[in-house]
A and B are shown apart, each in its own frame.
Chain A
Amino acid sequence: MTQLIIKYRWYIIISCLLFGISFACLIPLSKTDPEIRNYIPAGMKSRIETDKIEKEFGVQDMVMLLFQDSSIITHDNLEKIKEIDRDISTMSDIASRISPYTVKNIISSEGMMKVDPMIRSIPTDAEEISALKKDILENRFARGIVVSSDMTAAAITATIDNPGNERATLNKIDSVIAAHPGDARVLKGGLPYIRQHIMKDVRRDAVILVPLALLIMLLVLKLTLGEWKSVMMPFTVVLLSTCVSMGLIPLLGWKMSIITLLVPVILIGVANNYGIYLVARFQEISLSHAGYSRDQILKELTGSLNMPILFSGLTTIAGILGLLTHSIIPARQVGVLAATGVTIALLMSLSFIPALIFTRKKGYTAVNKGKTASKTISRLTDFLSDIIIKHPGRVIIISCLLTLMISSGIFLLKTETNQENYFPKNNPVKQASELINTKFGGSQTISVMVAGDIKDPAIMNGIDNVTRQVEKMKGVGQVFSISQAVREMSKALYTPGEDGYDRIPATAEGIAQMFELYNMSGDPADFKQLMNPENNKAHILIRLSDPRKGIISNIRNRISELVAKIPAEVTVGGYAIIMADFARSIIRGQISSLLFALITVALLLTIIFRSFKGGLIGSIPLAASILILFGFMGYAGIALDSATALLSSIMIGVGVDFTIQYIWCFNINIRKGLSYEESTRVSLSTIGRSILINAFSVMAGFSALIFSGFTSIRFFGYLVIISIGSCLIGAIVLIPAIIVWFRPRFVENDMSNSKKKKYEKRDSDINAPSAAFNGLRPAAGCRKDNE
C-alpha cells in the first residue's frame, strides 16, 4: 500500500483534487426545499390523504397579513386595510381570500333576507365605528377571523394558487404592503411566509456557518499542528470531502433542507480527525528520527496508524449510517451524504495525505505548539489517573448515579414538528405566528373531506356534528364548514322560535334550495373552500390555535370517532396531521437509527476487541451518553425535532472513536507487561490527552452551529457539545475505571493482527521522545514509547 502511494503519489494527489473540485462545481446547482411535508415519504398515509384533499380544495396553507394597532377599527387603519385588500384581490395568483371586506352580514328582518358586505363604507364618526364593532362581534364569520375580539388586530387571509412560484406571489404581496404605509403595524405569517424565511435562513446559514466552522477548524489546526503546511493537509481533506458530499446533493436530485445544512458542519468536525492523527504522527517521527528517509517515514506512519484510523472510520461510518433507517427523508440523505463524506475523508487520509507528506522534500521542524495548553491537559490527565486508580468503584458508582439522575429527564422529552418554533422569539415570523395563534384561530390546519351527496341531511348533519364537537375542543381556534353556512341561512329564513331556525333542513330538497338561495343572494365563491360546485364533496377546515402533537392527536382521534357516523367516504388530512405523523416518524426513526447504530458499533467493537464482552463494555460510554443526552434534553425543554433527531447517530459515530482509541492503547500497554494501574496512567497521559484534544476540536467545529438562524440548529450545536463531552468522560473516566475495577480479560488479548504486530515492532524501534506528540496533537492508537 505504502509503495503504491509512493509510486503513484502525483496521480493520487491530482485525482483527489480533481475529484473534489468536480463535485464542488455541482454545488451551485443545489436548490433549497423549505417544505417540511417533503421530509415525509410520499407513500405515508397522511400525505396521500392531504394531497387528495388539496387536489379538490386547493392548498390550505394560508398567507396571513396581520394589522396591529391599539385600536384597529379607525378610519385610517380601515382605509389602509381596504387598499391592501383591494390590491390583493386583483392578483390572479390568489386563490381565495378572507378579509374584513369579504365578510358578509346575513340579516333577516321583516320577511327580508339581506346579504351585504359587513363593511359597506368606512365609518367616519364614533357612532359608525361603534356600530361596526358591534357588527363584528355579532358576526361569527368576522369575530376572531378577520378582526380580533379585542379590536386590536385585523387579518387578511389568502391562499396562493401559484405552485411553481410561491415566492413571486409573496414578493407581490410585499410590494402591495410597502405601497400602503400607515400607523398599523403589519406582520406577515402563515406557512408560505415561514417557508420563505426558511429558504432565506438556510442560504444565510450556508453562507455564514460553513465558512465560520472552517475558520474555527483552521484556527484549531494551527494551534495544534503549528506550521501551515501541516495544517493544510487535513484541512484540504475536509474541504474536498465536504465538496464531494455537497456536490452529491444536486447530482442525486436532492434539495437542501434545514438539516442537510448540518452535513458540511459534521464533516468539518469529523473528517479532519484521521488527517490530524497522520500529520501529528508525521511531525513526531520527523522530529525523533531526523535521519529517516521519506520512504522510511511514510512506512512508519502508515504502518502504525492505518489500522486504528480504519477502525475509527468504520465505526464512525456505521454510526452515521444508522440514519438510513430513519423515516425522515432528509435524515436519510444526511446519513448518505455524511457517510460518503467520512468515507472519502478516510480514503483520502489514507492515500492523499501520505502522498502529500511524501512530496515534502524537507521534513518537519518543530515550531511552538502551545506548551501551556499541553501542560494543562497533562495535569488534567494525571489528576484523572490518580482518582481512577485510587477509587475506581466510586468513579463507576458516581458515573452510574449521575447518568441515572440526568437520564430520568427522558420522561420529559417532547417531540417538536412545528415549523413556527424553528425561529427565535424576536423573529417577525414567530411574532406573527403567536398573534395568529392567540387572536385568529391559528394558521395550521386539519382538513376533513366528506365525499357523498352533501345535500343528504344525514351527511349534512354529520358534518354539522363534527363541526360543533370539534369547535369545543382544546387547541381548536376556528372551524369552517358548509353546515355553518346552512345554519346561518336558516337563521335568515326563519325567526327564532320557528322549527327551522338554526337547523339543518330535514330534506335534501330543503338543503339544495338553500344553496340555490345563497347562489342568488351571496357569492357562490364564498363556499369554494367548503364545498365543490357539484355538491358531492365537502371540506371541514379546522384551524389550530395550539398545534402541539398531543392536542393534534386528541383532535384526530375525536374526528375519527365522529366521522364514523357519517354515511359517506371521509378523508382526514392537513398540514397538522402530516406534522403529527412526522413527530411519530422522528421517534420511530430515532429508535431504529439508535438500535441500528448501537448494534453495528457493538458488533464492530466485538470484532476489533475480539471479545463479545469487549463489544459490550466498549458500548457503555455511548449508551450512557445517549441516556444523558435525552435526559438533558428533557430537563432543558429541548424537543426532539428533525435536526436534534440526528444527534444520537452522529454522536455514536464520533464518540465511539474515543473508546476504541483508549482500549487499543491500554491493550498495548498491558501486553507490554505493565500493571492495570500503570497501563491506565500511561494510556491516559498519552492517548487520553489525544482524545481530549480530538473531542475539543470536534466540539469547536460544531460550535459554529450556535450562530444559526434556526433555534433547533442552535440547540443541535449545544447538544453536540454535551454529547461529545459525555462520550469523552465515558472514554477517559468511566472505561478506565471499569477496566481497573473489573479487570476484563479481553483487554489483555492480542487485538492486533500479524501485520499490525510487525508495525508495532518497528514502532517500538522508533523510540520517540514522547508518547504523545510534543504538544497538543498525539497520534491515534498508542505507541510503545511510553515504556
Chain B
Amino acid sequence: MTNSMSATLSLSIMEKNGSVRNRTISMVSKSFPEGVEKRFIRFIDPVDVRGTAMLIFDNTSSADEMWIFLPALKKTRRIVSSEKGKSFMSSEFSNADMSSPSLSDFTNKHIGSSGNDNQWVIESIPVSQDKADEYGYSRKITYFSMDKCQVNKMEFYNFDNELFKVIEIKSVHPLPEGKYMILEMTAINLLTGRKSTITFTRIADNPKIDDSVFTIQNLER
C-alpha cells in the first residue's frame, strides 16, 4: 500500500441463478499517522444510489468508524460496527477482505507443500474464538507466489472446517518497493453459489489528496 491512492471500483455480484447486480464507486484513500487509514467512497452507479457517500476510518487499535451520507434523505449517519466479517456492500467480500489483515489477530504457519512449486502456503488461525467470530471463519489458507511475493488465492473455512469461500487474485498493479495493488479479484461462496468480482480502474498511485476530503463536511457536498 502507498500513502494515498485513488481508483474507480466496479463491483459485480452474480447470484446462483445467474442474475447480476453491478455497483460502481469512486474511492480515495490515504494513510494517516498512527496507522489510521481513511477512505472516502462515492457511489456512481446504479442511479438510485448515486451520490451516496461514505467515509471510513480503519483504526488499528480500535473499532473502525464509518459515516454514510444519503443524498435522497439528506442525512448523514455514523455507523458503528465491530464485525469485520460482515459483507462489503452485500458482496461475497467481507470488510476484512477490503483492508490489510491485522497479523496479530492470527497464528500463522507454513503448511503442507509450502515452499514447493514456487509457492508459500500459509495457514492463518484466529487467536481466539472472539476473533474467529469477528472475522467469520475458523481458518484461512493463503497461497503466495514466492518470486513475486504476492497473494494468488485465499481459502476460507467455516466452523465445520468446511471450505466455504475462495478469493482469487486475478491481476495486480505493481507499486514501488515491491508492493502491489490488486486490480481484480473474485470471491466465490461455495455454499451459496454466489460470486462477486471487484475490478479497480483509473488507479492513481500516491496522488495528492487534501486531508479535508476525509471530513464529514465533504460527505455532504
Residues of A within 8 A of B (CB): 86, 89-92, 108, 111-116, 455, 492-494, 500, 505, 507-510, 512-514, 516-517, 519-525, 533-534
Contact = CB atoms under 8 A, between A and B. Distances in A.
Nearest to A509: B72
A115 B77 CA distance: 12
A533 B72 contact: no
Contacts of B191: 92
A457 to B, nearest CB: 11
B77 A517 contact: yes
B54 interface: yes
Interface in B67-110: 68, 70-73, 75-83, 86-87, 89-90
Given A86-B159, A92-B158, A512-B48, A534 B72 contact: no
A540 to B, nearest CB: 21
Interface in B3-45: 13, 15, 19, 21, 43
Contacts of B86: 522-523
A113 B79 contact: yes
A508 B48 contact: yes
Contacts of A500: 73, 75
A116 B70 contact: no
Given A113-B79, A115-B79, 11 more contacts: A91-B160, A112-B78, A455-B48, A492-B77, A493-B70, A493-B77, A514-B70, A517-B77, A521-B66, A533-B90, A534-B19
8 contacts: A92-B162, A112-B78, A509-B49, A512-B49, A516-B43, A517-B79, A523-B83, A524-B87
B81 A513 contact: no
Given A508-B48, A517-B68, A520-B68, A116 B90 contact: no
Contacts, number: 102
A508 B43 CA distance: 16
Contact of B80 (A114, A509, A534): A114
Q: How large is the interface on B (under 10, 10 to 19, 20 to 34, 35 or more residues)?
A: 35 or more
Contacts of A493: 70, 73, 75, 77
B52 interface: yes
Contacts of B46: 512
A500 B78 CA distance: 18
A519 B87 contact: yes
A767 to B, nearest CB: 84
Given A86-B159, A89-B159, A524-B87, A513 B70 contact: yes
Nearest to B69: A513
B37 to A, nearest CB: 17
Contacts of A455: 48
Contacts of A89: 159
B73 A514 contact: yes
Contacts of A505: 72-73
Contact of A111 (B78, B87, B159): B78
A639 B82 CA distance: 54
A520 B89 CA distance: 6
Contact of B87 (A116, A494, A513, A525): A525
Contacts of B73: 493, 500, 505, 510, 513-514
**Which interface residue of B13, B81, B162 has the most chain A CB atoms within 10 A?**
B81
A520 to B, nearest CB: 6
Contacts of B79: 112-115, 517, 520-521
Nearest to B85: A523
A112 B77 CA distance: 5
A90 B83 CA distance: 17
A506 to B, nearest CB: 9
Contacts of B89: 516, 519-520
A91 B191 CA distance: 11
A112 to B, nearest CB: 4
B82 A116 contact: yes
Contact of A520 (B66, B160, B162, B164): B66
Contacts of B78: 111-113
With most chain A CB atoms within 10 A of its CB, the pick from B66, B76, B83 is B83
A433 to B, nearest CB: 30
Contacts of A111: 76-78
Interface string B151-167: 00000001110101000
Given A86-B159, A112-B77, A510-B73, A523 B48 contact: no
A487 to B, nearest CB: 14
Nearest to B90: A524
Nearest to B190: A92
A534 B194 CA distance: 13
A534 B19 CA distance: 8
Contacts of A115: 79-81
B80 A507 contact: no
A513 B48 contact: yes
Nearest to A490: B73
Nearest to A91: B160
Please give me the 10 A-B residue pairs with the lowest Cβ-Cβ distance, nearest first. A90-B159, A509-B72, A512-B48, A524-B90, A513-B70, A112-B78, A510-B72, A113-B77, A521-B79, A519-B90
